[in-house]
Amino acid sequence: MSWFEAKTEKPQIPPAKALWAICPKCKSHFEKKVWKDNNCICPKCNYHGRLAVRERIAQVADKDSFTEVFREVSYSDHLNFHDATGAYKPKVEATIAKLGETESVVMGTCTIESHPVMLGVMDFSFMGGSLGTGTGERIARACEQAIAEKRPLIIFCASGGARMHEGILSLMQMTKTSAAIGRLKDAGLPYIAVCTDPTTGGVSASFAMLGDINVTEPKALIGFAGRRVIENTIRQKLPADFQTAEYLEKHGFIDKIVERKDMKHFLAKMLGFWGF
Protein backbone atom coordinates (compact mmCIF):
# COMPACT_ATOMS: atom_id res chain seq x y z
CA MET A 1 0.00 0.00 0.00
CA SER A 2 1.44 3.36 -0.97
CA TRP A 3 1.90 6.04 1.66
CA PHE A 4 -0.97 8.21 0.48
CA GLU A 5 -3.42 5.33 0.82
CA ALA A 6 -2.47 4.51 4.41
CA LYS A 7 -5.16 5.12 6.98
CA THR A 8 -4.33 7.54 9.76
CA GLU A 9 -6.03 8.15 13.05
CA LYS A 10 -7.90 11.39 13.47
CA PRO A 11 -5.83 13.71 15.69
CA GLN A 12 -7.18 14.16 19.18
CA ILE A 13 -7.62 17.88 19.83
CA PRO A 14 -8.27 18.70 23.47
CA PRO A 15 -11.29 20.92 24.15
CA ALA A 16 -10.65 24.61 24.67
CA LYS A 17 -11.57 24.44 28.36
CA ALA A 18 -8.75 21.94 28.91
CA LEU A 19 -6.19 24.46 27.64
CA TRP A 20 -7.56 27.86 28.56
CA ALA A 21 -8.96 29.66 31.55
CA ILE A 22 -11.68 32.12 30.58
CA CYS A 23 -12.31 35.21 32.69
CA PRO A 24 -16.02 35.22 33.69
CA LYS A 25 -16.13 39.03 33.45
CA CYS A 26 -14.21 40.14 30.34
CA LYS A 27 -14.10 36.70 28.63
CA SER A 28 -10.36 36.96 27.98
CA HIS A 29 -8.54 33.65 27.43
CA PHE A 30 -5.37 32.70 29.27
CA GLU A 31 -3.33 29.56 29.63
CA LYS A 32 -4.47 27.77 32.76
CA LYS A 33 -0.98 28.07 34.23
CA VAL A 34 -1.08 31.87 33.83
CA TRP A 35 -4.47 31.95 35.59
CA LYS A 36 -3.25 29.76 38.47
CA ASP A 37 0.08 31.55 38.84
CA ASN A 38 -1.83 34.84 39.14
CA ASN A 39 -3.99 33.47 42.00
CA CYS A 40 -7.04 33.16 39.69
CA ILE A 41 -7.03 36.90 39.00
CA CYS A 42 -7.61 38.17 35.46
CA PRO A 43 -4.49 40.03 34.22
CA LYS A 44 -6.67 42.23 32.01
CA CYS A 45 -9.68 43.33 34.07
CA ASN A 46 -8.52 42.36 37.61
CA TYR A 47 -11.56 40.16 38.21
CA HIS A 48 -10.87 37.91 41.21
CA GLY A 49 -11.92 34.40 40.25
CA ARG A 50 -13.18 31.76 42.65
CA LEU A 51 -10.70 29.82 44.74
CA ALA A 52 -11.07 26.31 46.10
CA VAL A 53 -11.53 26.31 49.86
CA ARG A 54 -8.11 24.79 50.58
CA GLU A 55 -6.42 27.28 48.24
CA ARG A 56 -8.02 30.13 50.18
CA ILE A 57 -6.91 28.71 53.52
CA ALA A 58 -3.34 28.28 52.23
CA GLN A 59 -3.25 31.90 51.08
CA VAL A 60 -4.55 33.38 54.33
CA ALA A 61 -3.41 31.13 57.21
CA ASP A 62 0.20 30.90 58.31
CA LYS A 63 1.90 27.76 57.00
CA ASP A 64 0.93 24.59 58.91
CA SER A 65 -1.12 26.59 61.43
CA PHE A 66 -4.62 25.57 60.29
CA THR A 67 -6.39 22.88 62.33
CA GLU A 68 -9.85 21.95 61.05
CA VAL A 69 -12.72 21.59 63.52
CA PHE A 70 -16.27 20.20 63.33
CA ARG A 71 -15.60 18.17 60.18
CA GLU A 72 -18.03 15.53 61.44
CA VAL A 73 -20.92 18.04 61.26
CA SER A 74 -22.60 17.62 57.88
CA TYR A 75 -25.90 17.87 56.04
CA SER A 76 -29.34 16.70 57.17
CA ASP A 77 -31.97 15.16 54.87
CA HIS A 78 -34.83 15.33 57.35
CA LEU A 79 -37.37 15.93 54.54
CA ASN A 80 -36.20 13.00 52.40
CA PHE A 81 -36.21 15.66 49.68
CA HIS A 82 -36.77 14.89 46.00
CA ASP A 83 -37.24 17.20 43.04
CA ALA A 84 -37.52 16.73 39.29
CA THR A 85 -33.81 15.92 38.99
CA GLY A 86 -33.73 13.33 41.76
CA ALA A 87 -33.15 12.91 45.48
CA TYR A 88 -31.11 15.30 47.63
CA LYS A 89 -29.09 12.70 49.52
CA PRO A 90 -27.28 11.11 46.56
CA LYS A 91 -26.53 14.56 45.15
CA VAL A 92 -24.85 15.78 48.31
CA GLU A 93 -23.08 12.45 48.83
CA ALA A 94 -21.68 12.70 45.30
CA THR A 95 -20.47 16.23 46.08
CA ILE A 96 -18.74 15.01 49.24
CA ALA A 97 -17.04 12.19 47.31
CA LYS A 98 -15.93 14.57 44.54
CA LEU A 99 -14.62 17.43 46.68
CA GLY A 100 -13.51 15.63 49.83
CA GLU A 101 -15.36 18.23 51.90
CA THR A 102 -18.34 17.40 54.11
CA GLU A 103 -20.10 20.78 54.19
CA SER A 104 -20.16 24.12 52.40
CA VAL A 105 -17.99 25.81 55.03
CA VAL A 106 -14.67 24.66 56.45
CA MET A 107 -13.91 25.92 59.97
CA GLY A 108 -10.66 25.80 61.87
CA THR A 109 -8.22 27.55 64.15
CA CYS A 110 -5.07 29.13 62.75
CA THR A 111 -2.80 32.13 62.94
CA ILE A 112 -2.60 34.99 60.44
CA GLU A 113 0.82 36.63 60.65
CA SER A 114 0.98 35.16 64.18
CA HIS A 115 -2.44 36.52 65.23
CA PRO A 116 -4.69 33.68 66.54
CA VAL A 117 -8.11 33.44 64.87
CA MET A 118 -11.06 31.17 64.20
CA LEU A 119 -11.22 30.99 60.40
CA GLY A 120 -14.13 29.91 58.22
CA VAL A 121 -14.02 29.57 54.43
CA MET A 122 -17.11 28.82 52.35
CA ASP A 123 -16.82 26.57 49.30
CA PHE A 124 -19.05 27.56 46.38
CA SER A 125 -18.32 24.21 44.73
CA PHE A 126 -20.25 22.50 47.52
CA MET A 127 -23.91 22.78 46.53
CA GLY A 128 -23.41 26.40 45.49
CA GLY A 129 -21.99 27.28 48.91
CA SER A 130 -25.53 26.94 50.20
CA LEU A 131 -26.45 27.52 53.82
CA GLY A 132 -27.65 24.21 55.21
CA THR A 133 -28.16 22.92 58.73
CA GLY A 134 -24.60 21.62 58.83
CA THR A 135 -23.24 24.98 57.68
CA GLY A 136 -25.12 26.87 60.36
CA GLU A 137 -24.16 24.39 63.07
CA ARG A 138 -20.48 24.67 62.18
CA ILE A 139 -20.57 28.46 62.34
CA ALA A 140 -22.48 28.43 65.64
CA ARG A 141 -20.01 25.97 67.18
CA ALA A 142 -17.11 28.03 65.84
CA CYS A 143 -18.47 31.10 67.63
CA GLU A 144 -18.71 29.12 70.88
CA GLN A 145 -15.14 27.88 70.56
CA ALA A 146 -13.90 31.36 69.61
CA ILE A 147 -15.50 32.74 72.78
CA ALA A 148 -13.97 29.97 74.92
CA GLU A 149 -10.52 30.52 73.43
CA LYS A 150 -10.87 34.31 73.05
CA ARG A 151 -10.22 34.25 69.32
CA PRO A 152 -11.55 36.70 66.72
CA LEU A 153 -13.69 35.18 63.95
CA ILE A 154 -13.09 35.62 60.22
CA ILE A 155 -15.40 34.09 57.60
CA PHE A 156 -14.80 34.16 53.84
CA CYS A 157 -18.30 34.03 52.40
CA ALA A 158 -19.23 32.56 49.01
CA SER A 159 -22.78 31.39 48.55
CA GLY A 160 -25.88 31.25 46.40
CA GLY A 161 -28.10 31.37 49.50
CA ALA A 162 -30.09 28.98 51.68
CA ARG A 163 -30.12 25.26 50.82
CA MET A 164 -33.77 24.82 50.01
CA HIS A 165 -33.44 21.01 49.94
CA GLU A 166 -33.50 21.27 53.75
CA GLY A 167 -36.61 23.43 53.91
CA ILE A 168 -37.42 25.76 56.78
CA LEU A 169 -34.53 24.42 58.88
CA SER A 170 -32.17 25.83 56.28
CA LEU A 171 -33.77 29.29 56.58
CA MET A 172 -33.52 29.02 60.38
CA GLN A 173 -29.73 29.00 60.01
CA MET A 174 -29.89 32.70 59.15
CA THR A 175 -31.10 33.57 62.65
CA LYS A 176 -28.98 30.86 64.26
CA THR A 177 -25.71 32.17 62.79
CA SER A 178 -26.68 35.79 63.42
CA ALA A 179 -27.44 35.05 67.08
CA ALA A 180 -24.15 33.18 67.48
CA ILE A 181 -22.22 36.12 66.07
CA GLY A 182 -24.16 38.40 68.40
CA ARG A 183 -22.91 36.35 71.37
CA LEU A 184 -19.38 36.58 70.01
CA LYS A 185 -19.62 40.37 69.90
CA ASP A 186 -21.14 40.46 73.39
CA ALA A 187 -18.00 38.68 74.54
CA GLY A 188 -15.93 41.54 73.14
CA LEU A 189 -14.50 39.56 70.22
CA PRO A 190 -14.34 40.99 66.71
CA TYR A 191 -15.82 39.43 63.60
CA ILE A 192 -14.53 40.18 60.10
CA ALA A 193 -16.74 39.19 57.16
CA VAL A 194 -15.05 38.85 53.78
CA CYS A 195 -17.54 38.68 50.91
CA THR A 196 -16.12 36.92 47.86
CA ASP A 197 -17.71 36.26 44.48
CA PRO A 198 -20.59 35.48 44.79
CA THR A 199 -22.20 36.23 48.14
CA THR A 200 -25.97 36.22 47.75
CA GLY A 201 -29.30 35.09 49.18
CA GLY A 202 -29.70 34.07 52.81
CA VAL A 203 -25.97 34.29 53.51
CA SER A 204 -25.78 37.93 52.40
CA ALA A 205 -28.92 38.58 54.47
CA SER A 206 -27.35 37.16 57.62
CA PHE A 207 -23.78 36.56 58.80
CA ALA A 208 -22.06 37.85 55.64
CA MET A 209 -23.06 41.43 56.44
CA LEU A 210 -22.68 41.39 60.23
CA GLY A 211 -18.95 41.98 60.44
CA ASP A 212 -17.43 44.65 62.62
CA ILE A 213 -15.58 45.19 59.37
CA ASN A 214 -17.11 44.06 56.07
CA VAL A 215 -14.61 43.71 53.25
CA THR A 216 -14.63 42.19 49.79
CA GLU A 217 -12.49 41.49 46.74
CA PRO A 218 -12.65 43.57 43.53
CA LYS A 219 -15.64 43.06 41.24
CA ALA A 220 -17.31 40.49 43.51
CA LEU A 221 -21.05 39.94 43.10
CA ILE A 222 -22.83 40.70 46.38
CA GLY A 223 -26.58 40.94 46.81
CA PHE A 224 -29.77 39.20 47.83
CA ALA A 225 -32.16 38.58 44.93
CA GLY A 226 -30.95 38.42 41.34
CA ARG A 227 -30.97 41.37 38.98
CA ARG A 228 -33.82 40.03 36.82
CA VAL A 229 -36.01 39.34 39.83
CA ILE A 230 -35.53 42.87 41.16
CA GLU A 231 -36.04 44.56 37.80
CA ASN A 232 -39.23 42.57 37.15
CA THR A 233 -40.50 43.48 40.61
CA ILE A 234 -39.80 47.21 40.65
CA ARG A 235 -40.24 47.69 36.87
CA GLN A 236 -37.04 49.68 36.66
CA LYS A 237 -33.65 49.16 35.02
CA LEU A 238 -30.84 48.80 37.53
CA PRO A 239 -27.39 50.41 37.11
CA ALA A 240 -24.84 48.34 35.18
CA ASP A 241 -22.59 48.03 38.25
CA PHE A 242 -25.45 47.14 40.62
CA GLN A 243 -24.52 44.48 43.23
CA THR A 244 -20.79 44.76 42.50
CA ALA A 245 -18.23 45.27 45.25
CA GLU A 246 -17.51 48.74 43.90
CA TYR A 247 -21.19 49.76 43.95
CA LEU A 248 -21.63 48.50 47.51
CA GLU A 249 -18.53 50.31 48.75
CA LYS A 250 -19.71 53.53 47.13
CA HIS A 251 -23.08 53.24 48.91
CA GLY A 252 -21.68 52.32 52.32
CA PHE A 253 -22.52 48.61 52.50
CA ILE A 254 -18.87 47.52 52.35
CA ASP A 255 -16.06 49.09 54.36
CA LYS A 256 -13.18 48.29 52.03
CA ILE A 257 -12.27 46.45 48.83
CA VAL A 258 -9.03 44.52 49.31
CA GLU A 259 -6.89 42.95 46.59
CA ARG A 260 -6.33 39.23 47.08
CA LYS A 261 -2.56 39.66 47.32
CA ASP A 262 -3.06 42.15 50.16
CA MET A 263 -5.79 40.29 52.05
CA LYS A 264 -3.62 38.40 54.54
CA HIS A 265 -1.68 41.48 55.60
CA PHE A 266 -4.89 43.55 55.78
CA LEU A 267 -6.53 41.02 58.10
CA ALA A 268 -3.42 40.85 60.27
CA LYS A 269 -3.39 44.64 60.49
CA MET A 270 -7.01 44.70 61.64
CA LEU A 271 -6.37 41.98 64.23
CA GLY A 272 -3.42 43.94 65.53
CA PHE A 273 -5.60 47.04 65.75
CA TRP A 274 -7.92 45.13 68.09
CA GLY A 275 -4.98 43.90 70.13
CA PHE A 276 -5.05 40.19 69.24
Question: Which residue(s) pair with 22 in the sheet?
Answer: 29
Are 213 and 256 within 8 A, CB to CB? yes
pTM across the whole model: 0.90
- From 203, 198, 242, 253, select the one nearest 222 (Cα to Cα): 198
Given strand 153-159, what is the order of strands in its sheet? Answer: 67-69, 105-112, 115-122, 153-159, 191-199, 213-216, 256-257
Neighbours of 102 (CB within 10 A): 18
Q: What is the pLDDT of residues 213-241, one digit of tens each?
A: 999 999 999 999 988 999 999 999 999 89
Chain-centre distance for alpha carbon 114: 24
Question: CA 189, CA 181: separation in Å to the nearest integer?
Answer: 9
- Tens digit of pLDDT at every position of the chain (276 positions): 555 566 666 666 666 566 788 888 888 888 888 888 888 888 888 888 889 999 999 999 999 999 999 999 999 999 999 988 999 999 999 999 999 999 999 999 999 999 999 999 999 999 999 999 999 999 999 999 999 999 999 999 999 999 999 999 999 999 999 999 999 999 999 999 999 999 999 999 999 999 999 999 999 999 999 889 999 999 999 998 999 999 999 999 999 999 999 999 999 999 999 998
User: What is the structure's pLDDT at 26?
Assistant: 86
User: What is the structure's pLDDT at 256?
Assistant: 97
User: What is the structure's pLDDT at 101?
Assistant: 96
Task: Output the CA torsion sign for 251, 203, 114, 116.
Answer: positive
User: What is the structure's pLDDT at 9?
Assistant: 67
Domains and CATH numbers, the chain: 10-47 (no CATH), 51-273 (3.90.226.10)
Task: Extract the runs of DSSP E, i.e. beta strands, from the chain.
Answer: 20-22, 29-31, 67-69, 82-83, 86-87, 105-112, 115-122, 153-159, 191-199, 213-216, 256-257
Rounded to 5 degrees, φ, ψ at 217 are -95, 160
Name the amino acid, one letter, at 89.
K
Question: CA 247, CA 219: separation in Å to the nearest integer?
Answer: 9
User: What is the structure's pLDDT at 214?
Assistant: 97
Beta-carbon contacts of 78 under 8 Å, excluding residues fewer than 6 positions away, are: 166, 167, 169
User: What is the structure's pLDDT at 47?
Assistant: 85
User: What is the structure's pLDDT at 31?
Assistant: 84
